[in-house]
Amino acid sequence: MAYLSARATLEGWVSNVKPVGGIVFIEVINSLDLKATTVVVKRSENEELWLRSKELKLGSPVRIRGRIPVKIVSKLGREVHAEEIEVLGEPIDVMPIDPSGKTKALLDTILSYRYVALRLPSQRAIFRVRAKMVSVIRRFFEENEFLEVHTPKICGAGAEGGATLFTLDYFGRQAFLAQSPQLYKQMLMAGVPRVYEITPYFRAEKFSTTRHLNESWGADAEIGFIRGPEDVMRVLENLVVYVIECLRQEAKEELRILGVDLKVPRKPFKRLSYEEAIEIAKSQGIDISYGEDLGTEAEAKIGEAMAEEGYDAYFITLYPWEIKPFYIMRAEGGLSFSFDLDYKGLELASGGQREHRYEELIKNIKDKGLNPKSFVFYTEAFKYGMPPHGGFGLGIDRLLMKVLGMGNIREVVLFPRDRQRLVP
């Protein structure tokens, strides 16, 4: 048989071993590749290697040296004829997940053994898309002259107050895990016009749904010198479209493996007032009153109505100020300059224009039943010339879940943290 002159070295995990007569076919999942490579060992060429290859255990990490044939006959499209096989470790227990992928694993099993599940092409595809998404988000902000920042995750006060804070003992003082970088990114508006952060959120909410986690990741941005919330919505709209366009071009193979036909949402996104959203939900039989948060059912029904109009992505604006955090600027009639971004019936982001006037901000804090003394570290920044500003927090996990058409947010998080799951 004719071979290419170049030798090949293959490192990876054995996912299948199939002896057929005088040949052993070994499938190896290597590097970060989405396809396995077929390794061929022929008895006629090396009987000792052939005998050893038949005994290889599934899951074994190996280093294989050999040559690539001129004509590749493997259905996988990648083939190496082995001259040397070095076993780098052997499993001492039966693998909890079928490395060939022929037997489907339950989600709970995947979450408990994600490190093994990542040998499956479908699992690798999810997290290659996730890595690409984060890279593209960063690229968007850098191209638009935002400064990347890293704010504290151990804080002396919560961004929104309330009971959704994880508390901890900080050398005898009470501290909290950050709900978001909200207060710090606003403080930075006193010296930097545009900032962003790719960051974890920690929320002690007692939810057990397919869209909530107690530790999640988001992309936060804050923009100074705005003329109104529309300036912020345009940036968020452009970001989401940019991400989806890039994934369509740069993650084609991953999307193909996952069976995803990704569509770019129609621009400009629909602007829908909170009052209009409530009316749509009511018309679809949802029991909801003005002033309530939009729940899962209401969001889904609104999403269906928007889809009928040709909108996958849409903003819900002008929420009542009573149901928004203290830092949101008030609008006339008890409303606020706030918005949510929903995509296919799921809230992905919240944002709006912030209150940048010191006295009004102090009043807001008091009106929410909070103590301004607890926020002095934050409000001090508003004494030295704070420009009008606004921003948003976009849930990366939720965006990826919807982009890939997954039914559970845990599918797109390596080691999810919820009320039941603290390990691995």
Q: List active site positions.
A: 203, 205, 211-212, 347, 350, 398
Characterize the bridge pairing of strands 36-42 and 79-87: parallel
Q: Is residue 59 left, alpha or beta, with left meaning phi > 0 and alpha meaning psi from -120 to 50?
A: left
Evaluate whether 275 touches 300 at the Cβ level (below 8 Å): no
Q: What is the 3-state secondary structure (H, E, C) of 334-392?
A: HEECEEEEEECCEEEEEEEEECCCHHHHHHHHHHCCCCHHHHHHHHHHHHCCCCCEEEE
Contacts of 348 (CB under 8 A, 6+ apart): 240, 341, 342, 394, 395, 398, 399, 402
- Return the structure tokens found at 237: 């709209």
How large is the C-alpha radius of gyration of the chain? Answer: 26
Secondary structure E strands in 43-107? 61-69, 79-87
Long-range contacts of 22-25 (CB under 8 A, 24+ apart): 22/50, 23/50, 24/50, 24/53, 24/54
Task: For the chain, report the end-to-end CA distance as a whole number of angstroms.
Answer: 49
Contacts of 252 (CB under 8 A, 6+ apart): none
Evaluate whether 282 touches 276 at the Cβ level (below 8 Å): no
- Return the structure tokens found at 78: 């990648």
Which of the 8 DSSP states describes residue 252?
Answer: H
